[in-house]
């Protein structure tokens, strides 16, 4: 079956980070599902961009996802972290060894939840102190164990390609990079 990614949108998300993941997943043949954490049909980004969602948090089957992806942005990251049902599912995915990914400010959620102890990780520079126990690399994107992290909006393509590499293959990621004229 086609791999499925859940990308979670809360009011105040960073639109380039969120939509780059959606775009690159879809180009690679991964089903990318935009999920409204706010239970609203569309969600507004930190820069006032409204995006229509594919599903509401309350109606998604989490077990149909191969990865849960948290975009950054403020206050989007805080709104994701304040969502109890999402955090429960995130913990369940992490503990069962399934993929979890976060970029920019959102890796702080992984830090707070103890996912990063002894793992290589990256985040927006101002959030690095929140990556409890991580080996902070300052890299564009890192994968360690079942955890993928990205540094910021300027690293959204690297982060998305890292997701493709892990869900499908390095070859698939390289093909997408070439198609979008991205020099890795």
Separation between Cα atoms, residue 14 and residue 73, nearest integer Å: 4
Catalytic-role residue among 25, 83, 104, 155: 104
- Catalytic residue list contains 155: no
DSSP line for 38-102: T--SEEEBTTS-EEE-SEEGGG--GGG-SEEEE---TTHHHHHHT-HHHHHHHHHHHHTT-EEEE
Question: In sequence order, what are the beta bridge partners of 51?
Answer: 43
Lateral strand order in the sheet of 55-56: 55-56, 31-36, 4-9, 67-70, 99-103, 147-150, 141-144
Q: Which pair of tokens denotes residue 11?
A: 């009011």
Q: What is the DSSP letter of 32?
A: E
Separation between Cα atoms, residue 120 and residue 173, nearest integer Å: 21
Contacts of 181 (CB under 8 A, 6+ apart): none
Judge whether 107 and 128 are in contact, CB under 8 Å.
Answer: no
Mind telling me the catalytic residues?
104
């Amino acid at each position: 079956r086609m791999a499925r990614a859940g990308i979670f949108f809360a009011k105040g998300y960073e639109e380039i980070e969120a939509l780059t993941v959606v775009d690159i997943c879809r180009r690679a043949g991964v089903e990318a599902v935009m999920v409204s954490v706010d239970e609203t049909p569309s969600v507004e980004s930190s820069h006032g961009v409204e995006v229509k969602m594919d599903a509401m948090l309350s109606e998604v089957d989490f077990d149909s996802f191969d990865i849960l992806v948290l975009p950054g942005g403020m206050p989007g990251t805080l709104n994701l972290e304040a969502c109890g049902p999402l955090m429960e599912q995130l913990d369940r995915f992490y503990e069962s060894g399934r993929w979890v990914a976060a970029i920019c400010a959102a890796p702080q959620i992984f830090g707070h939840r103890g996912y990063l102890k002894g793992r290589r990780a990256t985040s927006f520079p101002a959030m690095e102190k929140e990556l409890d126990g991580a080996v902070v690399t300052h890299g564009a994107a890192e994968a360690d164990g079942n955890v993928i992290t990205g540094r910021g909006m300027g690293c959204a393509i690297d982060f998305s390609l890292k997701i493709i590499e892990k869900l499908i293959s390095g070859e698939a990621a390289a093909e997408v990079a070439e198609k979008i004229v991205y020099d890795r």
